[in-house]
Amino acid sequence: MRIVGGAWRGRSLAAPAGRATRPTADRVRQALFDMLLHAPWGGRTAVEGARVLDAFAGTGALGLEALSRGAGHATFIECARPALAALRANVAACRASATILAGDALDPPPITPCALVFLDPPYGADLVARCVAALQRVGALAPAALLIAEIGRAEAPPFGPPLAERVHGAARLLVWRSRPIA
């Protein structure tokens, strides 16, 4: 696994052994960022200088990819110890401007609002909507933040119609804009 674009392109990323952590494949990350950078609702300004949140971060591949492509700062949330060790090693190797929160994405501490939010929970656990609600409660979502979720191919989308949807193997990528709390 490696960073596929930007300043750190080609840099290898550490990943914990076993199947407990499922890093987003290089080709899926490439497709995601191509979509993000070329969509009418996205563009370079969606990434460059943005505050990024990578919930269920695992190795941090999504957040680090965004930083490599010009994001200003990333906050990573991860609770599994082996993934947390790989995440810390990857952030240190990239000398990334990042905050690592060792904890549960469903019960986060207050986080500076982020404009680009990656949600990559374990497949089949129906965690995306719960995580978004928790992030809204602590003020982690900037107005009209882009929410990008990776769920299993057969899973139902957790919200209404997305801005974009792509299927890559076992993964389904969905993009929405956050809405204010009603």
- The answer to whether residue 182 scores a pLDDT higher than 60 is no
Q: What angle do CA 7, 95, 74 make, to 5 degrees?
A: 80
Helices (H), 56-174: 61-68, 81-94, 128-137
Assigned token pair, 90? 């990857």
* Contact assessment for residue 77 and residue 101, using Cβ atoms and an 8 Å cutoff: yes
- Give me the domains of the chain, ranges plus CATH numbers: 26-177 (3.40.50.150)
pLDDT digits (tens, 9 = 90+) for 27-78: 888 999 999 999 999 999 999 999 999 999 999 999 999 999 999 999 999 9
Q: Percentage of residues in the chain with pLDDT exceeding 90?
A: 78
Please state the pTM of the whole predicted model: 0.93
Give pLDDT, residue 125: 87
Label the pairing between strands 73-78 and 114-119: unpaired
